[in-house]
Amino acid sequence: MPVEMNGPQQRSCPDPRRSLFSQAESVDHEPGPLGVPAYSCLDRSARACAETVRSTLDQWFERVPEEHRADLFGAFASPKDRDHEAAVLTLVLHEALLRLGHTLTIHPALPGTRKRPDFLLDCDGRQTLLEA
């Protein structure tokens, strides 16, 4: 039976404006069982590496403009792993592109279509559309 070193960790309440994760106690010390959504496993894990991942993802999430956080949170916390993984990819790309010096527009409106790509990148006056 695993021993808790400093008791269960508490995390802030899931607020799509601030955090991707819940306030639930971190209680799971083992890898998530098959069939359990990836988000649920990460949210409940008491492993130190999971806390590091949660903290890093929340830091990146804070850099997403507030008006886009609720949609990203909905996909990220989805019980469907495909939606969760797509949201993780979007968050990783957003952070990587910011670190590379791009100015980003999320879901820009395009003339002549109702479709909106994930990002419009602007770097030194050159613009590129990116769909994750």
Dihedrals φ, ψ of 70, to 5°? -60, -45
Instruction: Going from the first residue of the chain to its last (132 residues), give the mean pLDDT of each consecutive group of 10, the final group possibly shorter.
Output: 33 59 69 78 86 94 94 93 95 96 94 93 92 88
Q: What integer pLDDT is reported at residue 5 of this predicted model?
A: 30
Q: What integer pLDDT is reported at residue 8 of this predicted model?
A: 36
Report how far Cα 114 is from the mean position of its chain's Cα atoms: 25
User: Is 55 in contact with 74 (CB distance < 8 Å)?
Assistant: no
Q: What integer pLDDT is reported at residue 46 of this predicted model?
A: 85
Q: Which amino acid is at 35?
A: G
* Phi and psi based region of residue 28 (left: phi greater than 0; alpha: psi -120 to 50; beta: remaining): beta
Dihedrals φ, ψ of 106, to 5°? -90, 130
Q: What integer pLDDT is reported at residue 26 of this predicted model?
A: 66
CA distances from 40 to 7, 16, 22 (A): 20, 16, 10
CA distances from 87 to 26, 45, 76, 111, 129 (A): 22, 19, 5, 26, 18
Give pTM, 2 decimals. 0.78
Q: What integer pLDDT is reported at residue 18 of this predicted model?
A: 73
